[in-house]
Structure 1
Amino acid sequence: MVGENIQIALAHLVAADSHYKGLGLVCMAVFMALLLAANVSKAVRFYIKYFAYNGMYLVLGVVCIPFMLMSPGDPDNMRWASRFTSMSVKYIFGVRVSTTGLEHLNSNEPYIAVCNHQSTIDHIGMMEIWPQRCTLMVKQSLKYAGPFGIAAILCGCIFVDRSNKARAKEAMAETIQTIKRKHAKIWMFPEGTRSLSHDTKEPMLPFKKGAFHLAVEAQVPIVPLVFSSQEKFFSFREHRFTSGNYAIKVLPPVSTEGLTSDDVPKLTAQIRENMMDTYVALTHQATHNDLPAT
């Protein structure tokens, strides 16, 4: 009986061994095919690197979560994401950032930071200069982005469902409470969600007015931030993702004291125009100079 059981076990081992060998051969074949495609296709190389880059944030989410659990929902939890990103991602992918005007972020009072948006590469610069007690307003779908979404919840990020006006209004009301109750700063992208192809004639999309209404209602300043073009080293259209650098300039705060909702359209247009002018100047500088990293 024992001998028969041993024979049966050995048979299973042989079958399992054959199965895993077959699976190993399939995995090896897929890996070799990807290597071949990467050598042949610029697009394949781009997407492999791009997905590896975004995958880093899932890993960083896992690393940060245990630290964030010590004070869930606290905007200061963003310091863990900032610290670990600055220690890893920018070096792995060779993206450098130069900054000016950082003194405008150092206020102890709440404000709304508005920033132009190009791609997820923005995240490297954001984490390089992230202000204290600042959280982020992001689209609702990111709440379900695995470890990244959990980390975002623990950082007190405010999630907005832009397809639902009622819920968007609720998110804005929640944001005002966050500003007052937690004495927090809020980082927003007034362009909303950009197309991955960046197929637009202008470097910035039209600004949505939500961030500006929020600042006026909360009576807090707006701090504009401008990121120069990443086109020289990162482009969906050209399937380009190499090492490179870009510049960030923080503009002086714009007061909203005494303004009402009637002033929002003019305020939005003025800040966008100023940011556009700064973008053009920064991009020219980043293109023609070797910017030092901070």
Structure 2
Amino acid sequence: MFGPAALRLAIFAAFATALLHLGPAQAADGFDFSPEQPGRIRTERNDAAIAAISPGFKFVTPGKFTVAVSPGGPPLATYATDAKTVIGADPDYALAVADSLGLTLELVPIAWIDWPLGLTSGKYDAVISNVGVTEQRKEKFDFSSYRQGLHGFFVKTDSAVTSIKEPKNAAGLRIIVGAGTNQERILLKWNDENVAAGLKPLELQYYDDEATSLVALASGRADVIVQPHAQLVFIAARDQNIKRVGTLSAGWPERSDVAITTRKGSGLADALTVATNGLIESGTYAKILDRWQLSEEALPKSETNPPGLPKS
């Protein structure tokens, strides 16, 4: 017989093995991870966006839009089943922007931590890789917003929890969150509000990795998991045992934007903003987000250098 500790280890090992066999690029309901990407959305050139490119701006490679992306995981960016083609919502969006500028897309896979140095050193024209706008980053980079930065509240599909929109909805719930994350910072503020209002406190739970967190949720040891929204969208489609009951802005109580990132003062940001607004107006933008089940993250319009998260 297993003791409690051994049983937990056995459950985790089985779960981790299942995840390894699945792999980051294996098909899940509603997602296509083939390298061919037959459903990829294309668009027409946008003359207004092209005209907005600064006359002094020079692309890394003439005729190409060179974009850095980090294949950190679906649905934002990952490797296809051929283990070399980068696919996902961010690559699709980069392709639509390249089309708008009348250019060929050149994707450069990178480690996420390397994007600032690579961009400032001129290795690529832009970064489209879930980079959030912050006031500190705006000192060195320009931004053209293209998505909301959201965290997701997800529960078991049979959970009695049906909606989390504000602090009081989370009162008394056992919530899995990453230590030191932005979502933990926000939930601690929610907890303070609830306690001050005489409501039950939140019970925050911390685990070493995603697999252990999902086991805790599935076993009923926790009520809710909070992670970046896109990650949980994919897990929900893959595992079919969790569902979204709410979203949380990364800049709560204000909106927090994700943006195309370019070198400060390079003269490209305004053109990318015009291109994005053209994609929004034509409906191409909505189709791209819907293709990767990220419609919840849609922006009403793109802005150049919108308000960012304040300096800590």
TM-score normalized with structure 1 length:
0.31
TM-score normalized with structure 2 length:
0.29
Q: Larger % of strand: which?
A: 2
Greater Cα radius of gyration, structure 1 or 2? 1
